[in-house]
């Protein structure tokens, strides 16, 4: 990757029960193996090619919403719901979902 990645955050909200989860990290806090996995997932997702993108399924109810944010020299944000999450984001989604913790209400 050309630019140094500084931070990454993932937030899950919505769904039938309304449980929110969050995962946030600074790249400098990750060990080399996790940093390389996360960098690879970010590159595969294509999020660095956009500033902001939001796609949601029309008239959908009780779907989870996923917010991804990557900061390098600028901020890149992507928001999708269950029905609109692109295949290229799946690896990033699974990487971030595993360590995500319940957000305080």
pLDDT per position in the chain (105 positions), as tens? 468 999 999 999 988 777 889 999 999 999 999 999 999 999 999 999 999 999 998 888 889 999 999 999 999 999 999 999 999 999 999 999 888 776 655
Provide the residue range defining the domain that includes 90: 7-102
Looking at the domain assignment, is residue 1 inside a domain? no
Looking at the domain assignment, is residue 2 inside a domain? no
Indicate whether this model's pTM tops 0.85.
Answer: yes
CB < 8 Å & 24+ apart, contacts of 44-47: 44/88, 44/91, 44/92, 45/78, 45/86, 45/88, 45/89, 45/91, 45/92, 46/88, 47/76, 47/78, 47/89, 47/92
Looking at the domain assignment, is residue 54 inside a domain? yes
SS3 37: helix
Looking at the domain assignment, is residue 66 inside a domain? yes
Looking at the domain assignment, is residue 89 inside a domain? yes
Looking at the domain assignment, is residue 93 inside a domain? yes
Looking at the domain assignment, is residue 95 inside a domain? yes
What's the total number of domains in the chain? 1
């Amino acid at each position: 990757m050309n630019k140094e990645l500084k931070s990454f955050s993932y937030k899950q909200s919505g769904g039938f029960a309304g449980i929110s989860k969050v995962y946030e990290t600074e790249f400098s806090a990750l060990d080399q193996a996790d940093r390389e996995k996360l960098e690879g997932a970010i590159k595969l997702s294509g999020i660095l090619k956009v500033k902001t993108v939001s796609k949601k399924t029309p008239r959908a109810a009780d779907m989870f919403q996923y917010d991804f944010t990557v900061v390098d020299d600028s901020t890149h944000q992507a928001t999708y719901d269950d029905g609109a999450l692109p295949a290229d984001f799946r690896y990033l989604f699974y990487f971030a979902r595993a360590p995500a913790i319940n957000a305080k209400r």
